[in-house]
């Protein structure tokens, strides 16, 4: 977790360094260009002006170069979001316990704000609140059930173990390790994790 945070900070820091690097890079280009003109017989002031004019719009060059960095940065961000989702999935009860009060408080506050904007219906109307909760629960359950049912249809009964003792015991009981991962699945700390498959009797 701390490691991820450090990586995130590093990426932000890298962005700032890239910005200042680019500014220096452009500055160097301008001074080289001006030096060349001075060597060709221009006055220093003229040379500087001409170098700037030939370079074009510095801000637009910077913006176009910055565009190149955005994609890797977005990929990093995507990884962070996936990581956050995994953490939430692992600690789902904690998430639920923390999310419910926050959600209710939020709904109440937003409801109060929206009250003026809504016509003929109250935002704290029990039926509306209940139906929203039901909808969200439905979405959550679908998100859990669909992958589980898929796995069941594929005829695979599988589980995973991130426990060293179990990793030794399970194969001796006839469970087949399908995939061993040294990368964490639901743990931030990398432990040897293996996905097991129960041998089918057929």
Partner 1 sequence: MTVDKARIELLQGTLDLLILSTLVFGPSHGHAIARQIRTVSEEVLHVETGSLYPALHRLEAHGWIASDWKLSDKGKRAKYYRLTRSGRTQLVHEQSKWDQLTAAMARVLRPAE
User: What are the residues binding partner 1 (CB under 8 A)?
Assistant: 21-22, 24-26, 28-29, 31-33, 35, 53-57, 60-61, 64-65, 67-69, 71-72
Shorter beta-carbon distance to partner 1: residue 26 or 181: 26
Shorter beta-carbon distance to partner 1: residue 57 or 131: 57
Residue with tokens 């173990």: 161
Shorter beta-carbon distance to partner 1: residue 32 or 188: 32
- Smallest distance from the beta carbon of 25 to partner 1, in angstroms? 5
- Asked if 123 and 110 touch (Cβ cutoff 8 Å), the reply is yes
CA gyration radius for the chain? Answer: 29
- Smallest distance from the beta carbon of 64 to partner 1, in angstroms? 5
Shorter beta-carbon distance to partner 1: residue 63 or 141: 63
- Smallest distance from the beta carbon of 67 to partner 1, in angstroms? 7
- Smallest distance from the beta carbon of 20 to partner 1, in angstroms? 11
- Smallest distance from the beta carbon of 12 to partner 1, in angstroms? 17
- Asked if 62 and 26 touch (Cβ cutoff 8 Å), the reply is yes
List, edge to edge, every strand of the sheet that includes 176-181. Answer: 158-161, 193-197, 176-181
Residue 194 main-chain phi, psi, to 5 deg: -130, 145
Query: Dihedral of the CA atoms 18, 19, 23, 25 (nearest 10)?
Result: 10
Shorter beta-carbon distance to partner 1: residue 66 or 86: 66
- Distance in angstroms (rounded) separating the CA atoms of residues 97 and 164: 30
Residue 72: CB atoms within 10 Å: 11
Q: At what angle do helices 2-39 and 58-90 cross, to 10 degrees?
A: 170
């Amino acid at each position: 977790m701390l490691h991820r945070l450090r990586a995130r900070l590093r990426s932000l820091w890298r962005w700032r360094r890239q910005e200042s690097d680019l500014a220096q890079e452009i500055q160097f280009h301008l001074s080289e260009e001006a030096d060349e003109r001075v060597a060709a017989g221009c006055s220093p002031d003229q040379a500087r002006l001409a170098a700037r004019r030939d370079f074009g719009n510095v801000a637009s060059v910077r913006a176009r170069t910055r565009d190149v960095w955005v994609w890797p940065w977005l990929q990093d961000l995507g990884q962070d979001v996936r990581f956050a989702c995994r953490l939430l999935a692992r600690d789902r009860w904690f998430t639920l316990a923390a999310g419910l009060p926050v959600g209710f408080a939020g709904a109440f506050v937003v409801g109060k704000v929206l009250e003026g904007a809504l016509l003929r219906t109250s935002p704290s109307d029990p039926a509306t609140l209940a139906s929203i909760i039901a909808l969200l629960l439905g979405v959550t359950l679908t998100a859990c059930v669909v992958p589980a049912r898929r796995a069941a249809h594929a005829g695979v009964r599988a589980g995973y173990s991130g426990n060293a003792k179990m990793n030794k015991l399970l194969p001796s009981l006839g469970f087949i390790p399908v995939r061993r991962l040294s990368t964490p699945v639901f743990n931030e700390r990398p432990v040897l994790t293996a996905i097991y498959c129960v041998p089918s009797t057929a």
